[in-house]
Amino acid sequence: MLKLVLPLAAAASLFAGAAGAQGMGAEDARHLLNRTGFDAQLREIDEFARLTRSEGVERLLAGTHTQARTPPPAWAKAWTDPRTVRRMGEEERRAFVRLQVERGLELKAWWLAEMLATPSPFTERMTLFWHNHFTSSLQKVRSPPLMLRQNALLRRHALGNFGELLHAVSRDPAMLVYLDSATNRRGQPNENFARELMELFTLGEGRYGEQDIKEAARAFTGWSIDLDTGEFLFRPRQHDDGVKSVLGRSVRTGDEVLDVLLAQPATAEYVAARLWREFVSPQPQPEELRRIAAVFRDNQYDVRAAVRALLLAPAFWAPENRAALIKSPVELVVGTMRQLGVGVSDPLPFAFLLRALGQDVLSPPNVKGWPGGEAWINSSTLLARKQFIERLLRVDETRMAMQQPAMREKMESLKPGARRLMQAMAELHFSGRDWLAPFEGREAMVPLVLLAGAPAGDPSGSGTDYLRALVADPVYQLK
Amino acid sequence: MTSRRNFLAASVAALFSTSLFAQSSGYRRLLVLVELKGGNDGLNTVVPYADDAYHRLRPRIGIRRDDVLQLDERAGLHPALKPLVPLWEARELAIVQGVGYPSPNLSHFRSIEIWDTASRSDQYLAEGWLARAFAGAPVPAQFAAGGVAVGGSDMGPLAGAGTRAIALTSPEVFLRQARLAKPVGAGRNSALDHILKVEAGIVEAAARLDAGAQFQTEFPRGPFGNAVRVAAQLAANPSGVAAIRLSLGGFDTHQNQPAVHQRLLGELAAGLAALKSALLEARRWDSTLVMTYAEFGRRPQENNSNGTDHGTASAHFVAGGRVKGGLYGEAPRLGDLDGGNLRYAVDFRSLYATALERWWGLSGAKALNGRFDPLDILRA
């Protein structure tokens, strides 16, 4: 193993030398880019290696945007009044449900397309972070247009202000459906939203009482949806206008509840801890976390300020925290395809793949989202990951094999989802030789680009075989 | 075939090796856990149909007296559970009412964590209760795995370092892919340790699993039916596993509960009936114990959305060829609620203690962090 560590370090210092003393160097650049984005290519790493850490972070922040570049599906603004659905006949309704399912898949494919093509992977990582924080699921919301609108909202505020995002998400129609706010009425409160608001969106578990939830739920009564338009609608007659006591404060409205929660130091700490686990390490350092939470609060919940403090914290760069996080399925799939430079014309089958890997985007398992970390990897998901990577590096062989009659027969026997994935994979092109060409004379950079740390095994071989051995190493699953 | 014979010979030899025998012969008996994800409504599963309070609390979603499948003069099953009636009549189905724990937590995630780790309500444990049990009393080395989580991506009670646990969707797919696993090198942080351990588990399990038996039994269509088929295949596998975890999701019925719950209970009952049928074919019904569990039951008072909110205690099923059928625990006391929720009568860890002590012959105290009385629901 030692013999592999040395070339890595040598390559990094060699590069730092070439880039000038103040540049962060290739190893740091790789770390910054891959922790905040999707596996970077050599050229991106070279670009960032010349910058200082601080300049690199600023470059990342400056590159973020508030709107997706991929044009939304044609039905983006379509809204169907649920009352008309209820009036539909059996067959018409079934067709309607089928259409929603298809559009849901289209939506997943749309987001994947954006992640694959975006010039700012950080924007998508943050959008995904908020999707996993303010979760909603197509499974329950059942309206792809509303889920698309929520996704746009999360992206718009992804690096904006957390307080504004919280207020906006609380009246987001998909969220209103997902956590039953739409049926939360005076005299008959539904506590679902109020509970998750405190447990998962702001304070974190154990920082409030059952009574706070009951009172908060009353404050949100009347927050509903206009069935004609699918927009947020406040229904004064369903609102309980009485005084409620939340965390010892007297409030009347839902917005006042949100402000009470934002005024709690626990909220900044809780969100900062989640950001830490996303970007730094599985275990936050208490003192550093308090510092970053204070920055977050002192900057009125400016997400940029918190992220900047986090990415410049010594812990982010600490050697013991390198290669210490497990790639999520999205990071693995999108990252691998971006890094290997395979163009994808139809991302839809890869949405099925993400489901098999345990991260069905836009359909999280429950309101807590994906637990992540080691929970990403069990025998079933690890094998599916390895199979995907192996196939991706052998797409050319697969394409040829698929011409064989025996293979065609086998394809026929697959489930439609798996067959479509095989076909989509067969349309991809990857040539190890072409990919390796820019490394000419800088061969030691190959493992540095592909792996977050020294390999666990002893990958050997040359050319494409070497590539295969590197991505098959367990360390390829880490970031 | 030779390798199969070798394994059998090895396992026979292992049975006679005294230390192993003392530790773990009990694991020849299989435990199948069925998680009802989202929190199953116990009151509409095992209905206290003779209690007026029940009908008062649930004027819209309550199960009508005429519709229940009566178990006795007070309790009846939801009509969708009809496939379980033959088990009940064969006295192979125990129904434990009022299962819960002190100071209940109403959050899905925290409460399932409490169930999975067998912790107190105010205690945070990292490892699943089965993982702890297997760490204390290892599953025989010739077993394909200690536990198998079928389908779902979380390991639940099997999560933890001390056990050989795998997750798979089907043995066929698992065996086809297993060649990709190569546990190499040493770990240097917990993330890499975890990956290497999973790789090693794959290699070990793949060496001992077969592609799975074929059954006459017809399994219900859908994911749960498939999971039941896989459980039966694993049970029939000659090198054995000690525990299998299945799950059926969707029980978080805040809205429009009647139709959803009807479908889910129907899937559950048809699945369990098929499991019994297949295990009889595999001659494993007498050496299998099936238990349901969930993070909580639901609130007795229906909500305004034709559903129920998170609650506390609930009823659970225990089934198997060695189960003494009947009603256990305590019928819900709807006149004596605690903040609108049921008081528990049986600690869930007593169910776990039953599996650990009475089924496997282990000491339950260590895995459960304390003494919990097992239930007397098994025949010798």
Residues B154, A375: C-beta atoms closer than 8 Å:
yes
Maximum pairwise Cα distance, chain B = 66
Contacts of A180 in chain B (CB under 8 A): 254-255, 305
Residues A456, B196: C-beta atoms closer than 8 Å:
yes
* Interchain CB contact of B309 with A (< 8 Å): yes
Nearest-Cα distance to chain A for B325, in Å, is: 35
Nearest-Cα distance to chain B for A474, in Å, is: 7
Contacts of B253 in chain A (CB under 8 A): none
Could you say which residues of chain B have pLDDT below 70? Answer: 1-25, 152-153, 162
* Interchain CB contact of A456 with B (< 8 Å): yes
pLDDT of res. B241: 94
Quickly list H helices, A201-249: 210-219
Domain boundaries, chain A: 2-51+325-477
Residues B192, A478: C-beta atoms closer than 8 Å:
yes
Nearest-Cα distance to chain A for B380, in Å, is: 36
Residue (of A98, A76, A91, A55) closest to A150 by Cα position:
A76
> In angstroms, rounded to a whole number, what is the distance separating the alpha carbons of residues B208 and B148?
13
Nearest to B202 among A205, A282, A383 (CB): A383
* Per-residue pLDDT of chain A in tens (479 residues, 90 and over written 9): 334 444 444 444 444 444 445 899 999 999 999 999 999 999 999 999 999 999 999 999 999 999 999 999 999 999 999 899 989 988 998 899 899 999 999 999 999 999 999 999 999 999 999 999 999 999 889 999 999 999 999 999 999 999 999 999 999 999 999 998 888 999 988 898 999 999 999 999 999 999 999 999 999 999 999 999 999 999 999 999 999 999 999 999 999 999 999 999 999 999 999 999 999 999 999 999 999 999 999 999 999 999 999 999 999 999 999 999 999 999 999 999 999 999 888 899 999 899 989 999 999 988 889 989 999 999 989 998 999 998 899 888 877 777 788 777 777 777 777 788 888 888 888 999 999 999 999 999 999 999 999 999 999 999 999 999 999 999 999 99
Nearest to A457 among B167, B184, B201 (CB): B184
Which pair of tokens denotes residue B306? 């034709």
Give strand pairing partners of B33: B245, B291
Residue (of A228, A142, A153, A244) closest to A191 by Cα position:
A244
Q: What is the per-residue pLDDT across B250-266, written as a single tens digit (0 to 9) for each?
A: 999 988 999 999 999 99
Residues B304, A205: C-beta atoms closer than 8 Å:
no
Contact A323, A478 (CB under 8 A): yes
**CB under 8 Å to B33, separation ≥6 — which residues?**
B156, B157, B243, B244, B245, B246, B290, B291, B292, B293
**CB under 8 Å to B304, separation ≥6 — which residues?**
A183, A185, A188, A190
Contact A44, A51 (CB under 8 A): no
> In angstroms, rounded to a whole number, what is the distance separating the alpha carbons of residues B347 and B342?
13
CATH code matching the domain that covers B26-368, chosen among 3.30.70, 3.90.870, 3.40.720, 1.10.101: 3.40.720
Nearest to A383 among B149, B181, B186 (CB): B181
Q: At what angle do helices A90-117 and A348-356 cross, to 10 degrees?
A: 90
Helix (H, G, I), strand (E, B) or coil at B291: strand
* Interchain CB contact of A324 with B (< 8 Å): yes
> In angstroms, rounded to a whole number, what is the distance separating the alpha carbons of residues B255 and B261?
10
pLDDT of res. A423: 82
* Interchain CB contact of B109 with A (< 8 Å): yes
Torsion of CA A72, A74, A77, A80, to 10 degrees: -130
> In angstroms, rounded to a whole number, what is the distance separating the alpha carbons of residues B380 and B371?
22
Nearest-Cα distance to chain A for B257, in Å, is: 13
Contacts of A282 in chain B (CB under 8 A): 190-191
pLDDT of res. B91: 97
> In angstroms, rounded to a whole number, what is the distance separating the alpha carbons of residues A59 and B201?
43
pLDDT of res. B152: 64
Contact B101, B114 (CB under 8 A): yes
